[in-house]
Amino acid sequence: MKRSEVVLAGAEKMRDTEVAIDLALCEAGELLSTLTRLRVTSGMSGVWGRNELALLGQGISGMIAARENIIDFHHGLKNIQGQWAPNVTLTGNDLDKPAPKAPGGSASVTQTPRMTA
């Protein structure tokens, strides 16, 4: 495998990981919202499930921390990319996120990094 192929494969896997964490955050946030809404609409006391919701909130906080670590890792790779493939430059908008595949599928990269030598 050429170094440029290694860099591209790594970039794709990194994007897949970023999207997976974002989707997990979406699901956990929807779970928190749904459980709270169900409690309110059913007329249950605000005390019901408070410890469990707090645990879910801590889990969401952990996911946010994991997301930040992955983003820091992403930016850190830019510092060492030249060691892996000194003549390869990945271009594209860092702010664009690839769209996920249909539910149940893994994330896909819709904006493929382009190589320039």
Indicate the number of domains in the chain: 1
Q: Which residues pair with 57 in a beta bridge?
A: none
Domain carrying residue 100: 3-116
Question: For residue 17, what are its two tokens?
Answer: 């990981």
Render pLDDT for 18-61 as a digit per residue (tens, 0 to 9): 999 999 999 999 999 999 999 999 999 999 999 999 999 999 99
Question: How would residue 111 be classed by pLDDT, with cut points 50, 70 and 90?
Answer: very low
- How far apart, in whole angstroms, are the C-alpha atoms of residue 28 and residue 18? 16
Q: What are the distances in angstroms from CA 25 to CA 2, 40, 99, 114?
A: 35, 22, 15, 29
Render pLDDT for 61-93 as a digit per residue (tens, 0 to 9): 999 999 999 999 988 887 777 676 656 565 565
pLDDT at 77: 82
